[in-house]
Structure 1
Amino acid sequence: MNVTVIGSHLCPDTLYALHQLAAAGAEVEFKDILSCHAALQDYLQIRESSPLYAEIRGTRRLGVPCFVQEDGSLTLDLHDILR
């Protein structure tokens, strides 16, 4: 399984997800929104346009980690990826 994880190295939920995915043998591309300007720009585009973030926009929540599956679909639920 290949998955892109968009999050932050400072976010406990992101770190937990990365560890779980590694334990499951997933090939992970990690985009750290706090250490890479391009990753942050890409994430903001997703956050502002994806229906997945409808309930999060306008709040103080970031909505990370975000998982991009091989087919390009997005989820905020780690269990969707691990199934």
Structure 2
Amino acid sequence: MKVYGTEICIDCRNYKAIQKARGFEAEFISITSDTSNLKEFLAMRDREPVFDEIKAKGGIGIPFFVNADGRKTLDINEALSWIGQKPVEADEIHK
């Protein structure tokens, strides 16, 4: 699984903390550390219907999860289910 995000986003930091605590493998792609990563993310954001609602609300759409089989989601629990992980518990989220 690939996860597009940035360290300046609280939801992305929460995702990374969950990944670290649970110890599962996933590739985190920082969209703010390299312009090629940003371009790759923006190309998907421009064409993927999964972003329509979030864009209409003025959101960015991160973290964004892409499964090896091509499925895409903005829902962390859906993404975690792809790799056999349980849903996020309330005590795993930090604001």
**What is the TM-score when the length of structure 1 is the normalising length?**
0.86
Q: Quick one: structure 1 residues 70 and 26, their matched pair in 2 at CA, closer, same or farther if it must change by over 3 Å?
A: farther
* Residue of structure 2 in register with 1:71 after alignment: 69
**The residue matched to 1:21 in structure 2 has which SS?**
helix
Total equivalences in the alignment: 81
Structure 2 spans left out of the alignment, 5+ residues: 82-95
Per-residue CA distance 1:33-80 (angstroms, 9 max, x = gap): 111101100100110100101112354310100011121211101101
Residue 41 of structure 2 corresponds to residue 43 of structure 1: yes
Q: Compare CA radii of gyration and give the structure with the larger one.
A: 2
Answer 1 or 2: which has greater strand percent. 1
Q: 2:5 aligns with which of 4, 7, 24?
A: 7
Higher relative contact order (CA 8 A, sep 6+): 1
Q: 1:81 aligns with which of 74, 79, 82?
A: 79
**The residue matched to 1:17 in structure 2 has which SS?**
helix
Comparing 33-42 with 15-24, which one deviates more in the overlay? 15-24
**What is the TM-score when the length of structure 2 is the normalising length?**
0.76
CA distance in 2, matches of 1:53, 1:30: 19
Answer 1 or 2: which has greater helix percent. 2
Structure 1 spans left out of the alignment, 5+ residues: none
RMSD: 1.4
| Cα displacement (A) at 1:23 | 3.0
